[in-house]
Amino acid sequence: MDAEGLLASAAINLGLALVALSLFSMLKKQPGNAPVYLPRRMAGAAGSGWVLPLGTGRLTPSFRWIRAAFRLSDDDVLRRHGLDALAVIRLFKLGINCFSVCSIVGVLILAPVNYTSAGPSGTKRPNSMEIFTVSNVPKGSDRLWVHFSCLCFISFYVVYLLHKEYKEMSRKRIEHLKHHRKRPDQFTILVQGIPVCADHGIYGCNVDHFFSKHYQTYQSYQILHDNGNIESLQKLASSLEKQIERKRDTRRCNFWQWIWFKFTSGPLDARSQEQKLKEVHHSIRILQCKNMLKQKELPVAFVSFKSRLEAAQAAETQQHVNPLSLVTRYAPEPTETICRARDSAI
Protein backbone atom coordinates (compact mmCIF):
# COMPACT_ATOMS: atom_id res chain seq x y z
CA MET A 1 0.00 0.00 0.00
CA ASP A 2 1.27 3.43 -0.87
CA ALA A 3 0.90 6.62 1.16
CA GLU A 4 -1.86 8.01 -1.05
CA GLY A 5 -4.00 4.90 -0.56
CA LEU A 6 -3.51 5.02 3.21
CA LEU A 7 -4.53 8.66 3.35
CA ALA A 8 -7.57 8.00 1.15
CA SER A 9 -8.67 5.12 3.40
CA ALA A 10 -8.22 7.24 6.54
CA ALA A 11 -10.19 10.10 4.98
CA ILE A 12 -13.07 7.79 4.02
CA ASN A 13 -13.25 6.27 7.50
CA LEU A 14 -13.12 9.71 9.13
CA GLY A 15 -15.86 10.99 6.84
CA LEU A 16 -18.13 8.02 7.59
CA ALA A 17 -17.56 8.54 11.32
CA LEU A 18 -18.53 12.21 11.07
CA VAL A 19 -21.66 11.34 9.08
CA ALA A 20 -22.69 8.72 11.67
CA LEU A 21 -22.11 11.12 14.58
CA SER A 22 -24.04 13.88 12.79
CA LEU A 23 -27.00 11.61 12.10
CA PHE A 24 -27.02 10.45 15.71
CA SER A 25 -26.95 14.01 17.06
CA MET A 26 -29.90 14.97 14.80
CA LEU A 27 -32.00 11.84 15.25
CA LYS A 28 -31.84 11.95 19.05
CA LYS A 29 -33.42 15.43 18.98
CA GLN A 30 -36.52 14.36 17.04
CA PRO A 31 -39.69 13.89 19.11
CA GLY A 32 -40.61 10.73 17.23
CA ASN A 33 -37.39 9.04 18.37
CA ALA A 34 -37.89 9.81 22.05
CA PRO A 35 -38.99 6.21 22.85
CA VAL A 36 -35.63 5.02 21.48
CA TYR A 37 -33.27 7.58 23.04
CA LEU A 38 -35.25 8.65 26.14
CA PRO A 39 -37.23 5.65 27.39
CA ARG A 40 -36.37 6.21 31.06
CA ARG A 41 -37.42 9.87 30.93
CA MET A 42 -40.70 8.94 29.27
CA ALA A 43 -41.29 6.24 31.88
CA GLY A 44 -40.71 8.85 34.58
CA ALA A 45 -43.11 11.32 32.88
CA ALA A 46 -40.22 13.71 32.22
CA GLY A 47 -40.00 13.34 28.47
CA SER A 48 -42.42 16.15 27.60
CA GLY A 49 -39.93 18.89 28.47
CA TRP A 50 -37.27 17.50 26.16
CA VAL A 51 -38.97 18.26 22.81
CA LEU A 52 -37.25 21.13 21.01
CA PRO A 53 -39.30 23.56 18.91
CA LEU A 54 -38.43 23.73 15.23
CA GLY A 55 -35.62 26.17 14.52
CA THR A 56 -33.67 25.81 17.79
CA GLY A 57 -31.15 23.17 16.70
CA ARG A 58 -33.32 20.17 15.96
CA LEU A 59 -32.02 19.82 12.38
CA THR A 60 -28.41 20.87 12.97
CA PRO A 61 -25.73 18.40 14.15
CA SER A 62 -23.82 19.07 17.33
CA PHE A 63 -20.90 17.29 18.96
CA ARG A 64 -20.98 18.79 22.45
CA TRP A 65 -22.53 15.62 23.79
CA ILE A 66 -19.25 13.73 23.17
CA ARG A 67 -17.36 15.81 25.74
CA ALA A 68 -20.26 15.57 28.18
CA ALA A 69 -20.36 11.78 27.73
CA PHE A 70 -16.70 11.43 28.68
CA ARG A 71 -17.19 13.63 31.75
CA LEU A 72 -19.88 11.36 33.19
CA SER A 73 -18.66 9.08 35.95
CA ASP A 74 -19.65 5.44 36.24
CA ASP A 75 -21.88 6.16 39.22
CA ASP A 76 -23.78 8.83 37.26
CA VAL A 77 -24.31 6.49 34.31
CA LEU A 78 -25.44 3.70 36.64
CA ARG A 79 -27.87 5.98 38.46
CA ARG A 80 -29.34 7.68 35.38
CA HIS A 81 -29.32 4.98 32.71
CA GLY A 82 -28.85 1.63 34.40
CA LEU A 83 -26.38 -1.25 34.38
CA ASP A 84 -26.70 -2.10 30.66
CA ALA A 85 -25.74 1.40 29.56
CA LEU A 86 -22.74 1.32 31.90
CA ALA A 87 -21.59 -2.00 30.40
CA VAL A 88 -21.75 -0.57 26.85
CA ILE A 89 -19.85 2.59 27.80
CA ARG A 90 -17.16 0.63 29.63
CA LEU A 91 -16.82 -1.63 26.57
CA PHE A 92 -16.06 1.43 24.43
CA LYS A 93 -13.59 2.69 27.02
CA LEU A 94 -11.92 -0.72 27.08
CA GLY A 95 -11.44 -0.56 23.32
CA ILE A 96 -10.02 2.96 23.54
CA ASN A 97 -7.52 1.94 26.24
CA CYS A 98 -6.47 -1.19 24.36
CA PHE A 99 -5.99 0.39 20.92
CA SER A 100 -4.31 3.49 22.37
CA VAL A 101 -1.53 1.37 23.85
CA CYS A 102 -1.30 -0.68 20.65
CA SER A 103 -0.96 2.49 18.60
CA ILE A 104 1.75 3.90 20.87
CA VAL A 105 3.73 0.65 20.70
CA GLY A 106 3.34 0.45 16.94
CA VAL A 107 4.30 4.05 16.21
CA LEU A 108 7.12 4.50 18.73
CA ILE A 109 8.70 1.01 18.67
CA LEU A 110 7.66 -1.18 15.75
CA ALA A 111 7.54 1.42 12.99
CA PRO A 112 11.12 2.70 13.65
CA VAL A 113 12.40 -0.89 13.93
CA ASN A 114 10.84 -1.85 10.61
CA TYR A 115 11.90 1.35 8.88
CA THR A 116 15.55 1.04 9.88
CA SER A 117 15.77 -2.60 8.83
CA ALA A 118 17.71 -3.51 5.68
CA GLY A 119 14.80 -5.29 4.04
CA PRO A 120 14.73 -8.61 2.19
CA SER A 121 16.59 -7.34 -0.86
CA GLY A 122 18.54 -4.54 0.80
CA THR A 123 16.64 -1.82 -1.08
CA LYS A 124 13.88 0.49 0.11
CA ARG A 125 10.96 1.84 -1.84
CA PRO A 126 10.34 5.35 -0.60
CA ASN A 127 6.77 5.54 -1.98
CA SER A 128 5.59 2.29 -0.37
CA MET A 129 4.28 1.80 3.17
CA GLU A 130 5.73 -1.69 3.36
CA ILE A 131 8.94 -0.30 4.83
CA PHE A 132 6.98 0.34 8.06
CA THR A 133 5.70 -3.26 8.27
CA VAL A 134 7.27 -6.52 9.43
CA SER A 135 7.80 -7.54 5.79
CA ASN A 136 10.75 -5.13 5.71
CA VAL A 137 12.55 -7.17 8.40
CA PRO A 138 14.72 -9.93 6.83
CA LYS A 139 14.36 -13.56 7.87
CA GLY A 140 16.48 -14.59 10.84
CA SER A 141 17.00 -11.02 12.01
CA ASP A 142 17.29 -10.35 15.71
CA ARG A 143 14.75 -7.53 15.30
CA LEU A 144 12.00 -10.12 15.09
CA TRP A 145 12.45 -10.54 18.84
CA VAL A 146 11.27 -6.96 19.19
CA HIS A 147 8.03 -7.91 17.42
CA PHE A 148 7.69 -11.00 19.61
CA SER A 149 8.27 -8.96 22.78
CA CYS A 150 5.74 -6.31 21.75
CA LEU A 151 3.21 -9.02 20.88
CA CYS A 152 3.65 -10.63 24.31
CA PHE A 153 3.38 -7.25 26.02
CA ILE A 154 0.16 -6.37 24.19
CA SER A 155 -1.32 -9.81 24.89
CA PHE A 156 -0.60 -9.61 28.61
CA TYR A 157 -1.87 -6.02 28.69
CA VAL A 158 -5.17 -7.01 27.05
CA VAL A 159 -5.59 -9.92 29.49
CA TYR A 160 -4.92 -7.50 32.37
CA LEU A 161 -7.52 -5.05 31.03
CA LEU A 162 -10.11 -7.80 30.61
CA HIS A 163 -9.50 -9.13 34.13
CA LYS A 164 -9.69 -5.63 35.60
CA GLU A 165 -12.87 -4.86 33.65
CA TYR A 166 -14.46 -8.12 34.77
CA LYS A 167 -13.74 -7.40 38.43
CA GLU A 168 -14.99 -3.81 38.16
CA MET A 169 -18.21 -4.73 36.37
CA SER A 170 -18.86 -7.56 38.83
CA ARG A 171 -18.47 -5.13 41.71
CA LYS A 172 -20.75 -2.58 40.06
CA ARG A 173 -23.36 -5.24 39.36
CA ILE A 174 -23.33 -6.49 42.95
CA GLU A 175 -23.64 -2.93 44.28
CA HIS A 176 -26.46 -2.21 41.84
CA LEU A 177 -28.39 -5.32 42.91
CA LYS A 178 -27.65 -4.63 46.57
CA HIS A 179 -28.96 -1.07 46.56
CA HIS A 180 -31.71 -1.69 44.03
CA ARG A 181 -35.12 -1.47 45.63
CA LYS A 182 -36.81 -4.87 45.76
CA ARG A 183 -40.30 -4.69 44.30
CA PRO A 184 -43.07 -7.09 45.29
CA ASP A 185 -43.75 -7.97 41.64
CA GLN A 186 -40.26 -9.50 41.40
CA PHE A 187 -41.32 -12.20 43.89
CA THR A 188 -44.87 -12.62 42.59
CA ILE A 189 -46.44 -14.40 39.64
CA LEU A 190 -49.92 -14.23 38.16
CA VAL A 191 -51.77 -17.55 37.90
CA GLN A 192 -54.76 -17.88 35.55
CA GLY A 193 -57.13 -20.71 34.75
CA ILE A 194 -57.33 -22.02 38.31
CA PRO A 195 -59.59 -25.08 38.62
CA VAL A 196 -62.15 -25.23 41.40
CA CYS A 197 -61.26 -27.37 44.40
CA ALA A 198 -63.42 -30.49 44.41
CA ASP A 199 -63.62 -30.66 48.22
CA HIS A 200 -64.32 -27.02 49.13
CA GLY A 201 -65.62 -25.55 45.88
CA ILE A 202 -63.29 -22.53 45.92
CA TYR A 203 -60.23 -21.50 43.90
CA GLY A 204 -57.88 -20.52 46.73
CA CYS A 205 -57.74 -23.99 48.25
CA ASN A 206 -56.47 -25.47 44.97
CA VAL A 207 -53.78 -22.78 44.60
CA ASP A 208 -52.48 -23.24 48.13
CA HIS A 209 -52.31 -27.04 47.90
CA PHE A 210 -50.54 -27.07 44.53
CA PHE A 211 -47.82 -24.46 45.16
CA SER A 212 -47.11 -25.49 48.75
CA LYS A 213 -46.53 -29.06 47.49
CA HIS A 214 -44.22 -28.27 44.54
CA TYR A 215 -42.34 -25.14 45.70
CA GLN A 216 -40.34 -24.88 48.92
CA THR A 217 -40.23 -21.06 49.01
CA TYR A 218 -43.96 -20.62 48.42
CA GLN A 219 -45.25 -17.93 50.77
CA SER A 220 -48.86 -16.91 50.13
CA TYR A 221 -51.56 -16.30 47.56
CA GLN A 222 -54.25 -13.71 46.91
CA ILE A 223 -57.36 -14.52 44.90
CA LEU A 224 -58.67 -11.71 42.70
CA HIS A 225 -62.29 -10.62 42.85
CA ASP A 226 -64.60 -8.83 40.48
CA ASN A 227 -64.70 -5.53 42.35
CA GLY A 228 -66.37 -3.46 39.67
CA ASN A 229 -69.29 -2.44 41.93
CA ILE A 230 -66.95 -1.60 44.81
CA GLU A 231 -64.81 0.63 42.61
CA SER A 232 -67.84 2.56 41.32
CA LEU A 233 -69.11 3.00 44.89
CA GLN A 234 -65.69 4.20 46.04
CA LYS A 235 -65.63 6.80 43.27
CA LEU A 236 -69.13 7.94 44.26
CA ALA A 237 -68.09 8.19 47.92
CA SER A 238 -65.03 10.24 47.00
CA SER A 239 -67.16 12.61 44.94
CA LEU A 240 -69.67 13.05 47.79
CA GLU A 241 -66.86 13.74 50.28
CA LYS A 242 -65.47 16.47 48.02
CA GLN A 243 -68.90 18.09 47.65
CA ILE A 244 -69.51 18.04 51.40
CA GLU A 245 -66.07 19.50 52.10
CA ARG A 246 -66.68 22.23 49.51
CA LYS A 247 -69.95 23.21 51.19
CA ARG A 248 -68.23 23.32 54.61
CA ASP A 249 -65.57 25.62 53.20
CA THR A 250 -68.28 27.87 51.77
CA ARG A 251 -69.87 28.18 55.22
CA ARG A 252 -66.59 29.45 56.66
CA CYS A 253 -66.04 32.15 54.00
CA ASN A 254 -67.79 35.22 55.43
CA PHE A 255 -70.89 36.29 57.32
CA TRP A 256 -73.15 37.13 54.32
CA GLN A 257 -72.40 33.90 52.53
CA TRP A 258 -73.14 32.03 55.74
CA ILE A 259 -76.54 33.84 56.02
CA TRP A 260 -77.33 32.98 52.40
CA PHE A 261 -76.36 29.37 53.00
CA LYS A 262 -78.51 29.27 56.15
CA PHE A 263 -81.73 30.41 54.48
CA THR A 264 -81.38 28.43 51.25
CA SER A 265 -81.49 24.72 50.53
CA GLY A 266 -77.77 24.35 51.31
CA PRO A 267 -78.23 22.69 54.74
CA LEU A 268 -80.75 20.24 53.31
CA ASP A 269 -78.40 19.33 50.45
CA ALA A 270 -75.49 18.86 52.84
CA ARG A 271 -77.55 16.61 55.14
CA SER A 272 -78.85 14.55 52.24
CA GLN A 273 -75.36 14.14 50.85
CA GLU A 274 -74.02 13.07 54.24
CA GLN A 275 -76.82 10.52 54.54
CA LYS A 276 -76.12 9.26 51.04
CA LEU A 277 -72.42 8.98 51.88
CA LYS A 278 -73.25 6.81 54.89
CA GLU A 279 -75.38 4.54 52.70
CA VAL A 280 -72.56 4.21 50.16
CA HIS A 281 -70.06 3.27 52.88
CA HIS A 282 -72.52 0.71 54.23
CA SER A 283 -72.90 -0.83 50.75
CA ILE A 284 -69.11 -1.03 50.38
CA ARG A 285 -68.79 -2.83 53.72
CA ILE A 286 -71.46 -5.33 52.68
CA LEU A 287 -69.71 -6.05 49.39
CA GLN A 288 -66.37 -6.48 51.16
CA CYS A 289 -67.56 -9.14 53.58
CA LYS A 290 -66.21 -12.68 53.09
CA ASN A 291 -69.44 -14.26 51.88
CA MET A 292 -69.90 -11.68 49.14
CA LEU A 293 -66.23 -11.91 48.13
CA LYS A 294 -66.47 -15.68 47.72
CA GLN A 295 -69.30 -15.18 45.25
CA LYS A 296 -67.17 -12.74 43.24
CA GLU A 297 -63.99 -14.83 43.11
CA LEU A 298 -62.19 -15.11 39.77
CA PRO A 299 -60.00 -18.02 38.62
CA VAL A 300 -56.99 -15.72 38.92
CA ALA A 301 -54.54 -15.31 41.81
CA PHE A 302 -51.29 -13.64 42.76
CA VAL A 303 -48.82 -16.16 44.20
CA SER A 304 -45.83 -14.88 46.20
CA PHE A 305 -42.51 -16.60 46.85
CA LYS A 306 -39.59 -15.94 49.18
CA SER A 307 -37.10 -16.49 46.35
CA ARG A 308 -36.87 -14.61 43.06
CA LEU A 309 -35.39 -17.74 41.46
CA GLU A 310 -38.39 -19.93 42.18
CA ALA A 311 -40.74 -17.12 41.18
CA ALA A 312 -39.01 -16.94 37.80
CA GLN A 313 -39.07 -20.74 37.43
CA ALA A 314 -42.77 -20.87 38.23
CA ALA A 315 -43.51 -18.09 35.73
CA GLU A 316 -41.54 -19.76 32.92
CA THR A 317 -42.61 -23.42 33.28
CA GLN A 318 -45.88 -25.22 32.61
CA GLN A 319 -47.58 -26.23 35.87
CA HIS A 320 -50.34 -28.56 34.74
CA VAL A 321 -50.85 -31.31 32.16
CA ASN A 322 -53.64 -29.24 30.70
CA PRO A 323 -51.92 -26.18 29.17
CA LEU A 324 -55.03 -24.07 29.86
CA SER A 325 -54.98 -24.79 33.61
CA LEU A 326 -52.70 -22.97 36.06
CA VAL A 327 -51.23 -20.73 33.39
CA THR A 328 -48.44 -18.67 34.99
CA ARG A 329 -46.67 -15.50 33.95
CA TYR A 330 -44.77 -12.69 35.59
CA ALA A 331 -46.80 -10.32 37.73
CA PRO A 332 -47.61 -7.03 35.99
CA GLU A 333 -46.42 -3.66 37.20
CA PRO A 334 -48.17 -2.36 40.35
CA THR A 335 -49.71 0.54 38.41
CA GLU A 336 -51.50 -1.80 36.00
CA THR A 337 -52.28 -4.72 38.30
CA ILE A 338 -56.00 -4.20 38.93
CA CYS A 339 -57.17 -3.45 35.40
CA ARG A 340 -55.00 -5.90 33.48
CA ALA A 341 -55.39 -8.85 35.83
CA ARG A 342 -59.14 -8.43 36.00
CA ASP A 343 -59.58 -7.94 32.26
CA SER A 344 -57.43 -10.96 31.39
CA ALA A 345 -59.31 -13.10 33.91
CA ILE A 346 -62.69 -12.16 32.49
CA distance 88 to 79: 15
User: Is the same domain home to 171 and 85?
Assistant: yes
Q: Give the angle subtended at the CA of 313 by the CAs of 311 and 319, to the nearest 5°.
A: 100
The dihedral formed by the CA atoms of 111, 114, 116 and 117, expressed in degrees to the nearest 10: 180
Q: Sign of dihedral through CA atoms 132, 138, 143, 147?
A: positive
| Last residue within a domain, chosen from 180, 203, 238 | 180
Which residues in the chain show pLDDT less than 70? 1, 40-57, 119-127, 180-182, 226-235, 237, 240, 243-244, 246-275, 277, 280-296, 333-346
User: Is the same domain home to 214 and 315?
Assistant: yes
**CATH number for the domain including 340?**
3.30.70.330
User: Is the same domain home to 207 and 168?
Assistant: no
Domain extent at residue 99:
72-180
Per the CB < 8 A criterion, the answer to whether 1 and 130 are in contact is yes
pLDDT in the model for residue 68: 80
pLDDT in the model for residue 204: 78
How far are the Cα atoms of 66, 106, 210 from residue 220, in angstroms, in the given order? Answer: 50, 64, 12
User: Is the same domain home to 329 and 191?
Assistant: yes
| Last residue within a domain, chosen from 14, 32, 66 | 66
pTM of the predicted structure, to 2 decimals: 0.52
How far are the Cα atoms of 68, 70, 274 from residue 50, in angstroms, in the given order? Answer: 17, 22, 46
- In 254-333, beta strands by DSSP E: 297-305, 327-330
Tell which phi-psi region holds residue 254, choosing left (phi > 0), alpha (psi between -120 and 50) or beta.
Answer: beta
User: Is the same domain home to 206 and 340?
Assistant: yes
| Last residue within a domain, chosen from 243, 275, 290 | 290
Distance of CA 247 to the CA centre of its chain: 46
User: Is the same domain home to 147 and 163?
Assistant: yes
User: Is the same domain home to 170 and 267?
Assistant: no
User: Is the same domain home to 98 and 126?
Assistant: yes
Question: How many independent structural domains does the chain possess?
Answer: 4
In tens, the pLDDT along 177-193 reads 777 666 777 889 999 98
